[in-house]
Amino acid sequence: MILIVDDKQENIFSLKSILALHNFPSDTALSGEEALKKVLKNQYALIILDVQMPGMDGFEVAETISGYSKSKDIPIIFLSAVNTDKKFITKGYTSGGIDYIIKPIDPDILLLKVKTFYRLYEQKRQLNEMQNNLRDEIEFRKKAESEMNEKAKEMKSILESIPQIAFTTKSDGTLEYNNSQWLNYSLSEKEFPVAHPDDGNIQDEIERTVKSGKPLEMEVRVKMRDKNDYRYHLLRVLPVKEANNIVKWVGTFTDIEDQKQAVKKKDEFISIASHELKTPLTSIKGYIQLLDQSVDGNSSAKTYIDRTLNQIKKLNNLVVDLLDISKIESGKLKYNMQEFNCESMLTNAIEMMRQTHPDYHIHRRGNANRFIYGDEMRLEQVVLNFLANAVKYSPVNKEILVEVATTKNQIKIFIRDHGIGVSEEDQQNIFKKFYRVEKTVGNFQGLGIGLYICAEILERHHFEYGVDSTLGEGSSFHFTIPLYNYLAGKTQP
Ligand code: ADP
């Protein structure tokens, strides 16, 4: 908007018309005082200012305007009929004006000047805007940087205070910081600790992790500095994200050597104890069976012998499970892989269960009459284990269903009960070694190893498995056997 200041209405009218004709919006003031008020209130791109006015003259108005910080940059064009003298023209410039036009006005010249000033004003305004934006951007970045530095400082002081070896890397995996524990294991601040030759290379693992963008968790033996000893550590590396981008990685090595030693001792104990128990147990079983043959079938001794044999069977199962565990730990659990009929394996397991638990009703749905590839005894052990659990954890409702869903590519076996069920949280853990649901530990006997062995066997076969369960309503354990076209000569991997 252009402000026209003139004490004569007719001058204002003609100037306004010339500007309007060329699409320049304008505002008007009939005196210097009115002009000053308007300048303070509104935003103008240019002021056309008559020099000769009663009250404040044009020069005084210009001087006052250039004193206001808000308006000091507004260009002013003076209009004058009389002050053509060089002296007056100079006064016009020193009082803040930029140009000077002598009356009578030549509309073409006026317009030329207005256009130039208008364009200059626009450019200046845009420049100012850009400058302001730039300033804001710089401020913003400075603030973000100082916040980052603060955060980094805070993180370092936390990492310094923990007992673990801790480090951070840049987003590309290059080491950035390590705490004072680092040098107990590493030769320099720039190198990762050395891993046991059997456990891989830590630097390579970090590079793989950075590429994948996913957290790393691994157990690794790390060499102590200046010694030939290795200690087991749990290495965890997590990404630090900002606005969903990984900006760095934070890692820790936690010393788990003592736990590892304790677990090793426990495994050794289980292995020795189960072996030592197995021999006398087999003898006891043999003698009791001999005794069984020598007593009268109707005597009360026969009842006790049967009960004893039943208890021996339970004890034997426990010892066998413990032996299996120690074989799994040492990688010595052997698998006898071959083709066999899945249906007969399933029927055998169910029949065995029916005989030992005649009070339970084990129903069947679906047929598994297909040849599959695997260790028949071990897979039967899995079905027996699921069935034994279905019986054990369903003390009231004694209906159990074994359901088979066969498609062209797979056989899926479900063992469903209506027992106590497993909460969602416990479902995540029941396949882990020695895990037992805490609330039921007191009511049901067991060691928490049956499902762990099942999981091991199924994993070795590459069969999918799992559990669906609702607490208080029952559970459904299942596993899936992929089918291969044996006739076409394809065998399972
Ligand atoms: P154990 O039965 O000797 O405790 P398992 O490894 O066979 O050990 O099972 C682990 C835990 O899973 C059990 O302690 C029990 O809490 C839970 N569980 C297993 N099967 C069932 C089931 N059918 N119904 C409810 N809970 C079950």
Give the pairing type, strands 399-406 and 46-50. Answer: unpaired
With a 6 Å cutoff on the Cβ, whether 453 touches ligand 1 is no
DSSP 306-341: HHHHHHHHHHHHHHHHHHHHHHHHHT------EEEE
pLDDT of residue 490: 45
Q: How confident is the model at residue 85 (pLDDT cuts 50, 70, 90)?
A: low
Does 401 have pLDDT greater than 70?
Answer: yes
Residue among 317, 389, 414, 429 whose CB has most ligand 1 atoms within 8 A, to mutate: 389
- pLDDT of 493 over the 50 cut: no
| pTM exceeds 0.75 for this model | no
- Tokens 């797979």 sit on residue: 410
Q: How much is the average pLDDT of 254-273? A: 92
Q: How far is the CA of 401 from the centre of ligand 1 (A)?
A: 17
Taking a C-beta distance cutoff of 8 angstroms, is the pair 278, 319 a contact?
Answer: yes
* Cα–ligand 1 centroid distance for 342 (angstroms): 25
Q: Which of these, 280, 284, 274, 287, lies nearest to 329 by C-alpha position?
A: 274
Q: Which domains does the chain have, with CATH numbers?
A: 2-129 (3.40.50.2300), 162-255 (3.30.450.20), 260-330 (1.10.287.130), 338-482 (3.30.565.10)
Are the C-beta atoms of 223 and 194 separated by less than 8 Å? Answer: yes
Maximum CA extent, the chain? 149
Q: How confident is the model at residue 333, as a pLDDT?
A: 87
pLDDT of residue 52: 86
By C-alpha distance, which of 80, 109, 107, 110 is closest to 95? 80
390 Cα to the center of ligand 1, angstroms: 9
CA of 447 to the centre of ligand 1 (A): 9
What is the Å distance from ligand 1's center to 417 Cα? Answer: 12
Arithmetic mean of pLDDT, 51-68: 86
**Which pLDDT score is estimated for 237?**
97
Residue-wise pLDDT for 322-345, tens only, equals: 999 888 888 888 899 999 999 999
Q: Is 389 touching ligand 1 by the criterion CB < 6 Å?
A: yes
User: With 50 as the cut, is the pLDDT of residue 489 above it?
Assistant: no
With cut-offs at 50, 70 and 90, classify the pLDDT of residue 411.
very high
Q: What is the mean predicted confidence (pLDDT) over 263-289?
A: 91
Confidence of residue 94 (pLDDT cuts 50, 70, 90): low
Ligand 1 center–CA 46 separation, angstroms: 88
* CA-nearest residue, atom 8 of ligand 1: 448
| CA 340 – ligand 1 centroid, Å | 29
* Residue 240, beta-bridge partner list: 248
CA of 442 to the centre of ligand 1 (A): 13
At residue 177, what is the residue type? Y
Q: Count of alpha carbons within 13 Å of 290, Cβ hemisphere only?
A: 6
Residue 38 above 90 pLDDT?
Answer: yes
pLDDT band for position 378 (cuts 50, 70, 90): very high
Q: Quickly state the pLDDT bin for 491 (edges 50, 70, 90).
A: very low
Is the Cβ atom of 448 under 6 angstroms away from ligand 1?
A: yes
Which ligand 1 atom minimizes the distance to the CA of 454?
6
What backbone torsions phi and psi does residue 5 show, to the nearest 5 degrees? -120, 115
**Which range in 64-73, 91-100, 222-231 is most confidently predicted, on average pLDDT?**
222-231
- Ligand 1 atom closest to the Cα of residue 435 is 10
From residue 11, alpha-carbon distances to 22, 74, 77, 172, 314 in Å are 17, 22, 15, 72, 118
Contacts of 165 (CB under 8 A, 6+ apart): 178, 179, 181, 182, 184, 185, 193, 233, 252, 253
Start-to-end CA distance of the chain, whole Å, equals: 83
- CB of 437 within 6 A of ligand 1: the answer is yes
pLDDT at 96 over 60: no
Q: Which structure tokens are listed for 340?
A: 């066999």
- Tell me the mean pLDDT in the region 104-123: 88
Q: How confident is the model at residue 286 (pLDDT cuts 50, 70, 90)?
A: very high
The response to whether residue 58 sits with its C-beta less than 6 Å from ligand 1 reads no
What pLDDT is recorded for position 374?
94
Does 29 sit in the ligand 1 pocket, CB within 6 Å?
no
**Ligand 1: which of 393, 417, 427 to mutate, judged by most atoms within 8 Å of the beta carbon?**
393
pLDDT, tens only, 415-470: 999 999 999 999 999 999 989 998 888 889 888 999 999 999 999 999 999 999 99
Q: What percent of the chain has pLDDT over 70?
A: 95
Question: From the alpha carbon of 440, which atom of ligand 1 is closest?
Answer: 16
Q: Give the whole-number percent of the chain exceeding pLDDT 90.
A: 66
Atom of ligand 1 nearest to the CA of 420: 25
Residue 87 reports pLDDT greater than 70: no
